[in-house]
Structure 1
Amino acid sequence: MKQKNRIKDRISEREYQDCLKRLLKSAFNAQVQPLMSLKTATKKRRARKKAAKNSEFTKSNTTPSG
């Protein structure tokens, strides 16, 4: 009888640990997700800024032919 209880305790402990890991991972992902979208927004903003700067540079360097 004690053997069965020990096995049950081990299983419930393992289930508890797995559940805890899942909760921590989901909480971590919930906190990381806004940071990831911020990183993406920053990359896009920098790319637009660089593209605008490059287009201004190419416009200013062209000489009118005529």
Structure 2
Amino acid sequence: MSETAQTPGTITEGGVVLVDPSVKSYTYTVNIAWSATLILLIALVAISLWRSARVKRALAEAEARRERMSNG
């Protein structure tokens, strides 16, 4: 039987050494990816809300103009 030395952060399966994703070596990359995703998601929601308000305001103005034209 061959003995494989397990270092912290590795998992051995049938002699193949796999890196455990909970090791700090990927933490920085994962945090950057999550941060970028959250920033983009927040930006998308903010832009959508801003545009929705702008379109709603333009629609209200158009409807007011239409009412003024039909009434007078």
- Divergent runs of 4+, >3 A: none
TM-score (norm 2): 0.63
TM-score by length of 1: 0.67
Structure 2 spans left out of the alignment, 5+ residues: none
Would you say how many aligned residue pairs link Structure 1 and Structure 2?
61
Identity %: 10
Cα RMSD for the two superposed structures: 2.6
The structure in which a higher percent of residues are strand is 2
2:50 pairs with 1:45: yes
Highest RCO, 1 vs 2 (Cα 8 Å, sep ≥ 6): 2
Gaps of 5+ in 1: none
